[in-house]
Amino acid sequence: MNEFVEQFVIEGRELVAQGNDDLLGLEERPGDKDRLDGAFRALHTLKGAAGIVDFVAMARALHAAEDALSAVRSGNAPVTAPLIGLCLGCLDQVGAWIDLMQASGDIPEGADVAADDLVRRFTDLRSADAKLLPRHADPSATAAGSSTISRQLLEAQKLLLAERSPEGAAGRLGSAGRVAANVLRHQGLDTTDLESLLQTSLLAGDAALMAMAIDRILGSLAEKEPDAPGMLMAQPPDTTVRVDVERIERLVRLTGELLVAKNAVGHTARRAEEDVDPRQLAVALKNQHLLLERLVGQLQQSVFSLRVLPLHRAFQRFPRLVREMAGSVGKPALLVIEGAATEADKSIVEAIAEPILHVLRNALDHGIEDAVERRAAGKPPTATIHLRAARQGDRIEVAVEDDGRGIDVRRLRKVAQARGVASAAQLARMSDEEVVELIFAPGFSTASQVTGLSGRGVGMDVVRTAVERLGGRVSVSSRPGVGTVVRFSLPFTVMMTPVLTVEAAGQVFGVPLEAVVETVRVERTAIAAVGAAQAVVLRNRTVPIFDLGRALGAASGAPRAVANLLIVSVGGQLGGLEVDRLGDRLDVMLKAPDGLLAGVPGIDGTTLLGDGRVLVVLDLGAMFLNVQV
């Protein structure tokens, strides 16, 4: 990828995020000039960037969006939901193009069709007398919903064509043809074929041909179905990190100091060749060691700080997603974000977006009442969700607080019992606070109706698993009629340990990857008994091996003809571990063994797998020691 495209991708993403942010702010306060200017500038700079990399179609689409905002700036057009919706749609398209460019390094093909479509929609928006549009028209009618409307129109035409009476057949055919052609035009497609088909059908008096053509158009619409609201689009993981110049300069300064310290060691080494009092040398070396220790410590800290990102990176897409989700469930809601500048390790920032989004989705789906119910309860019709983040010592605290109806504990008790999450006796002993925590139990979901948002077969247990994998905790508290708060407590940084998973005796275990030298497959006959133990000769070295399954006390079946061996290095000694199967390489956060596992020899730690299972990571040193004794 050339450096221009590379910079285009970096800058483009930032501008899309900034534009989204300002557009949403503008929709909230249509008179906010700063937001308007910010949104305009984002579109304008994006257009300029497109011009630099010769992406003509993108520049054209952005020019149309820029014109629309320009009209607002000069006071010739109002800020309407359809206008904001269309501008956001335009930025979505730009974001998709940027993703494609990052993947291929080139200007995406077929961008013209999408650009034409956007330009036409901006023209339509302006030609419809903007002042007659209701202030809060359904935003989906312009962007996402257009294919739904098209589909309804086409379905109606099919019904019309199915009418068998010969009377008015030509009229019905003509109407269907016109509607189908309009839909095609709206999609930016050519209508010549359809028009000639209409003539043929009219001449033959045959509606079947037209019905088939409509079916084809319906099929093509289905492919264009927009994403369900509230989905995080899979983003390629960031391979670049933007770093403050100040942090770089600190590294440069440290490098300078390290060079000086290195030279000093060289000087001491030369003095050692001469006849110098060893005690004098020891003093010099000790001082230099202290200096180096301090510098290396600072270096380590500075390097870690390069991986630190503001939580804003995870939060920036939320206002937009909440807007979409609120629209799709018909509950007006506002997201208020505080503390987005709070910093955390890149891996935490990247991994936390999905769990928080899940909680936001739940709040909209279950926690927040519709406008009618809210009014009856004396609440403002628009719900507010607060998303707060703050650093507390070495942890990051994030809270999602809604002002909805709260969790109905009595209902929760019933559901918990009905679903077998807890027995009646257990429930009777539990306090309300404890019962509320049951929403994190696997398979627990209180949704009385499956909606488009939740009802994906995942519950809050997924949130808990994801957070615990990061070494975090999640808790919930709720007050009836007042709202629900979900709190996340996350580590500032995570140390990831690479492990290799292996299968033995029907169980999956992890082995620290740093201990693994190689994996080999050897014929059973190559394994020889050495006293009570077994060994194999590898490249002229005798390597003791043991069967992991048997070592764990599982009765192993008939030995395989070919053994899968993991050659590991423990305390400088090579050893072979026979396993049934080799698995994947994973980066995991190791947790010290606790509970039942505490004190069991041979266990290094545990971690949660993506599916919620516990992976036991083996302490090879202890295992080999035990076997050899």
Partner 1 sequence: MSFRVLVVDDSKLARMAVAKALNALRPDWTRVEASNAEEALGHAKSGTFDMAIVDYNMPGRDGLELAAEILALKPGMPLAVISANHQVEVVTRAREVGATFLQKPLTEKALNEFASDAAKRLPKSP
Smallest gap from Cβ 53 to partner 1, in A, equals: 8
User: Alpha carbon of 165 to those of 156, 266, 495: distances in Å?
Assistant: 17, 103, 74
Task: Spell out the residues 6+ positions from residue 576 whose beta carbon is closer than 8 angstroms to its own.
Answer: 536, 538, 543, 544, 545, 546, 565, 566, 567, 568
Minimum CB separation from partner 1 for residue 11, in Å? 5
Taking the complex as a whole, the smallest distance from the CB of residue 461 to partner 1 amounts, in Å, to 44
Q: Which stretch binds partner 1 (CB under 8 A): 2-10, 415-423, 529-537, 540-548?
A: 2-10
* C-alpha span between 521 and 563 (Å, rounded): 6
Q: How far apart are CA 51 and CA 155, in angstroms?
A: 42
Cβ-based neighbours of 171, under 8 Å, separated by 6 or more: none
H helices present in 307-442, as ranges: 312-315, 318-329, 346-362, 371-376, 409-418, 424-429, 432-437
Dihedral sign, Cα of residue 8, residue 13, residue 17, residue 20 = positive
CB nearer partner 1, residue 55 or residue 318: 55
417 binds partner 1 (CB under 8 A): no
User: Least separation, in Å, of the C-beta of 58 and partner 1?
Assistant: 13
What DSSP line would sit under 433-461, residue for residue? HHHHHGGGSTT----SS--SSS-SS--HH
Q: Which of residues 40-79 bind partner 1 (CB under 8 A)?
A: 41, 44-45, 47-49, 51-53
Query: Cβ distance 547 to 556 under 8 Å?
Result: yes
Measured from the CB of residue 49, what is the shortest distance to partner 1 in angstroms? 5
Q: Where are the alpha helices (DSSP H) in 29-137?
A: 33-52, 56-73, 81-104, 111-127
167 makes contact with partner 1 (CB under 8 A): no
Quick check: 468 and 619 in contact, CB under 8 A?
no
List the interface residues with partner 1, window 3-32 (CB under 8 A). Answer: 3-4, 7-8, 11
Residue of 20, 21, 38, 184 that binds partner 1 (CB under 8 A): 38
Nearer to partner 1, 74 or 239 (CB): 74
**198: Cα separation from own chain's centroid:** 47
Contacts of 452 (CB under 8 A, 6+ apart): 228, 229, 328, 329
In this chain, which stretch among 1-9, 137-145, 407-415, 580-588 interacts with partner 1, using CB under 8 A? 1-9
Count of residues touching partner 1 (by CB under 8 A): 15
Cβ proximity to partner 1, 73 vs 479, nearer residue: 73
Answer for the pair 577, 566: CB distance below 8 angstroms, yes or no.
Answer: yes
- Closer to partner 1 by Cβ: residue 38 or 406: 38
Query: Counting contacts by CB under 8 A, is residue 35 touching partner 1?
Result: no
- Cα gap 94→99, rounded to integer Å: 9
Helix (H), strand (E) counts: the chain = 21, 18
Nearer to partner 1, 55 or 315 (CB): 55
Closest separation in Å from C-beta 41 to partner 1: 6
C-beta closer to partner 1: residue 53 or 608? 53
| Nearest approach, Cβ of residue 52 and partner 1 (Å) | 5
Q: In this complex, which beta carbon is closest to partner 1, that of residue 4 or of residue 304?
A: 4
* Cβ-based nearer residue to partner 1, 9 or 563: 9
Minimal distance in Å, beta carbon 5 to partner 1? 10
What is the nearest approach in angstroms of partner 1 to the Cβ of residue 312?
17
Chain residues binding partner 1 by CB under 8 A are: 3-4, 7-8, 11, 38, 41, 44-45, 47-49, 51-53
